[in-house]
Amino acid sequence: AQKITQTQPGMFVQEKEAVTLDCTYDTSDQSYGLFWYKQPSSGEMIFLIYQGSYDEQNATEGRYSLNFQKARKSANLVISASQLGDSAMYFCAMRELNTGTASKLTFGTGTRLQVTL
């Protein structure tokens, strides 16, 4: 069964600094996708970045990058040059891409990031 683990309940980072949010996953499938979502205090779920298991390069989207280490089964989110608006809950999620379970997006418990001045 697929499982996502986020071991950091909360993180603090100073404005303009970089921060890494940890995510490890467990799956027996060879084909899967990894996602990061942001949930600000307003409650909506905002898609940030995606990494496919066969992608050779780490995904990047603006200030977000995904540090994908397949052998370690980790998919850490790196936010560069943190901004006050980055303060939010961040969820790591995985989707196995085989036909039987492809509709299931499994989430970790989240990391609450607080950006300080």
Partner 1 sequence: NAGVTQTPKFQVLKTGQSMTLQCAQDMNHEYMSWYRQDPGMGLRLIHYSVGAGITDQGEVPNGYNVSRSTTEDFPLRLLSAAPSQTSVYFCASSYSIGGGYTFGSGTRLTVV
**Interface positions with partner 1 (CB under 8 A):** 4, 33, 35, 37, 43-45, 47, 50, 52, 91, 93, 95, 97, 99, 102-110
Q: How far is the CB of 41 from partner 1 (least distance, A)?
A: 13
- Judged by beta carbon, residue 18 or residue 95, the one nearer partner 1 is 95
CB 31 within 8 A of CB 22: no
- Tell the smallest beta-carbon distance from residue 46 to partner 1 (Å): 8
Minimum distance from residue 55 beta carbon to partner 1 (Å): 11
Is the backbone of residue 97 left (phi > 0), alpha (psi -120 to 50) or beta? alpha
Q: Are 49 and 33 in contact (CB under 8 A)?
A: no
Minimum CB distance to partner 1 smaller for 25 or for 37: 37
Considering beta carbons, is residue 64 or 107 the nearer one to partner 1? Answer: 107
Which residues are registered as beta bridge partners of 76?
Answer: 67
Residue 105: burial class (beta carbons within 10 Å; 0-12, 13-18, 19+): middle
